[in-house]
């Protein structure tokens, strides 16, 4: 195995305006919308921590202070729960602050995902890092991020998570041109395109919100002009790295993910995710699933 720098830090972009969830997100960050009884952003930090990444940088924006509060201690609440002897809820309240060491930086302008990642340059420095998007939740039973770090340790460069999507949905994603490698779940990425028309997509292997990125991406992002939507696209920067050799920040590999992914990017997908998580909870499924079946029978 080649001697590549270890991945120890995670970057979580959380500066979006959440316009698809208005008016709920007028005063509440979309990342704080609950998946049953836990905000979506906590699942993301838990995933990073479970992969051994205990240094987490949140790239936030205006009106995101509640994210910081959630991952901080709440002494008055803790004292009240402790006085009641409510150890279960006390442990739930304390858990977010103990997951990892959280840092915060603001993205002053909404210039796209690539710009949000660029905001992490000073914190990350000259080291590879993971980037986790809050709209995508990966089931805790599927160790996708750990696998991506293993691939980075083997091949160097950057690693993206790819998932096969129906052809009619490729225009919603960044899409990869891929070549097989000696490992069944790993491909070499030779090209990338952001949200292509269906008839121009090179494949139906789409980028989902997990990346392990070489620090050379910062230099590329600084010189990447705005792309689709007038934003600085991370996909465009990774496309540049895909054409480089190992001494220049390349190559780019993809992990073909066939596990459980939950999308919270719009209202319908968010509702699906909440139902799936509730149905999978031991403390809720016994009553919730029979009720759900009964309700579906009622509405036909």
Model-level pTM?
0.93
37 and 171 in a common domain: yes
Tens of pLDDT along 207-263? Answer: 999 999 999 999 999 998 887 778 899 999 999 999 998 888 889 999 999 999 999
CATH value at residue 195:
3.90.550.10
Task: Please count the residues of the chain.
Answer: 300
Judge if 128 and 31 occupy the same domain.
yes
**pLDDT per residue as tens digits for the range 19-28:** 899 999 998 9
Instruction: For residues 238 and 275, state if they share a domain.
Output: no
**Residues 191 and 90 grouped into a single domain:** yes
C-alpha dist (Å) from residue 106 to 34, 48, 279 = 23, 20, 36
Regarding whether 285 and 196 lie in a shared domain, the answer is no
Q: How confident is the model at residue 2 (pLDDT cuts 50, 70, 90)?
A: low
Is residue 192 within 8 A of residue 219, CB to CB? The reply is no
Tens of pLDDT, residue by residue over 121-130, are 999 999 999 9
**Residue 1 pLDDT > 60, yes or no?**
no
* 4 in any annotated domain: no
Q: Which domain holds residue 216?
A: 9-265
Q: What is the pLDDT of residue 245?
A: 87
* pLDDT (tens digit per residue) in 204-222: 999 999 999 999 999 999 9
All residues at 6 or more sequence positions from 121 whose CB lies less than 8 Å from its CB, including other chains: 218
In this structure, the answer to whether residues 189 and 276 fall within a common structural domain is no
Name, in order, each residue with C-beta under 8 angstroms of 128's C-beta and a sequence gap of 6 or more. Answer: 4, 5, 6, 7, 152, 158, 212, 213, 214, 215
103-151 confidence digits (pLDDT tens): 999 998 888 999 999 999 999 999 999 999 988 999 999 999 999 999 9
Counting the structural domains of the chain, the total is 2
Same-domain pairing of 240 and 283: no
Q: Is the same domain home to 217 and 292?
A: no
Whether residue 169 is found in the same domain as residue 286:
no
260 and 281 assigned to the same domain:
no
């Amino acid at each position: 195995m080649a001697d590549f720098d270890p991945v120890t830090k995670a970057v979580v972009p959380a500066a979006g305006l959440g316009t698809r969830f208005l008016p709920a997100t007028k005063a509440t960050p979309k990342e704080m919308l609950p998946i049953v009884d836990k905000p979506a952003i906590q699942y993301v930090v838990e995933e990073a921590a479970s992969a051994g990444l205990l240094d987490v940088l949140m790239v936030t924006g205006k009106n995101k202070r509640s994210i910081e509060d959630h991952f901080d201690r709440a002494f008055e609440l803790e004292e009240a729960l402790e006085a009641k002897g409510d150890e279960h809820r006390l442990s739930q309240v304390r858990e977010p602050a103990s997951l990892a060491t959280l840092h915060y930086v603001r993205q002053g302008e909404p210039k796209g995902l690539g710009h949000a990642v660029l905001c992490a340059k000073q914190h990350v420095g000259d080291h590879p890092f993971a980037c986790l998007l809050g709209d995508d939740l990966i089931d805790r039973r599927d160790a996708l991020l750990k696998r991506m770090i293993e691939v980075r340790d083997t091949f160097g460069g950057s690693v993206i998570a790819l998932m096969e999507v129906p052809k009619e949905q490729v225009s919603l994603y960044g899409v990869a041109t891929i070549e097989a490698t000696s490992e069944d779940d790993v491909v070499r990425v030779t090209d990338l395109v952001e949200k292509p028309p269906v008839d121009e997509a090179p494949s139906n292997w789409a980028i989902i919100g997990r990346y392990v990125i070489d620090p050379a991406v910062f230099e590329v992002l600084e010189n990447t002009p705005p792309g689709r939507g007038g934003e600085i696209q991370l996909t465009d920067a990774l496309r540049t790295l895909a054409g480089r050799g190992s001494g220049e920040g390349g190559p780019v590999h993809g992990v073909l993910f066939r596990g459980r992914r939950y999308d919270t990017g719009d209202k319908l997908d968010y509702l699906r995710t909440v139902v799936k998580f509730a149905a999978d909870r031991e403390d809720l499924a016994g009553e919730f699933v029979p009720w759900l079946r009964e309700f579906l029978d009622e509405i036909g």
